[in-house]
Amino acid sequence: MQQGYTSRFLNYLLYLPADQPAENLPLIVFLHGSGERGSDLSLVKRYALPALLESRLDFPAAVLSPQCPLETRWTDHAAAVLALIDAVRQTHHFDPTRLYLTGFSMGGQGTWYIASRAPRLFAAIAPVAARIPPDPHFLTHICDLKDVPIWAIHGNADEVVPCENTRNLATALETCGGKVKMSLLEGADHVQTAIKAFALNFGLYEWLLAHRL
């Protein structure tokens, strides 16, 4: 079941699989795109992983989906996201070795950025259709992610956020010894990338959950 909550950090949805104790579950953190910003948590359920969870009782992980306030980006809220993750983990006692971060579009950008601020926290990350973070110093910090398993996914027909963003991020990380699993989805535009990457049969969730700290 996916329920909405308010907190002093950010409003969020939390999904817990039915009939399973929360203790020791893996936790996936999902960051939405720019169209779901605001204070109405139902917007977060429109696309990607939160939309999938509306019809699933047996997803194999807990999922935390915070909501970004209007007129801001995830890169403005890195500290709040990390504080929210810490608070939710303390409450529910999720598996400390199986924390994952993923997101789409603005959320993919946030995935790169927030993971770079806490590279030892996440067992694996998966930015989807991500633009290079606006922080002019980000590319100097990207080497902090060189030991983090990363699957970067982008549609090669994306005109909203061109796939060169993901190519350039992967290249920058590889220059400092990092390894990025990169998938360019043939013919996929921006929305189609989200539909394909977050579908159950794509393999993203199995890939994430296979990693541990």
Q: How far apart are CA 57 and CA 36, in angstroms?
A: 23
**Largest pairwise CA distance in the chain:** 46
pLDDT above 70 as % of the chain: 100
Residues 172-188 pLDDT 10s? 999 999 989 999 999 99
pLDDT reported for residue 18: 86
Query: Strand 99-104 and strand 27-31: pairing?
Result: parallel
Average pLDDT along the chain: 95
pLDDT reported for residue 201: 94
Mean pLDDT of 147-172: 98
What's the one-letter identity of residue 194?
Answer: A
Domain containing 82 equals 2-209
How far CA 199 is from CA of 30, 70, 78, 159, 192, in Å, comes to 14, 27, 27, 21, 11
Residues 128-141 pLDDT 10s? 999 999 988 898 88
Q: Long-range CB contacts (< 8 A, 24+ apart) of 5-8?
A: 7/84, 7/87
CATH of the domain at 44: 3.40.50.1820
Number of domain units in the chain: 1
What DSSP character marks residue 34? G
Residues 11-44 pLDDT 10s? 999 999 988 888 899 999 999 999 999 999 999 9
The total number of residues shown for the chain amounts to 213
Q: How far apart are CA 68 and CA 93, in angstroms?
A: 24
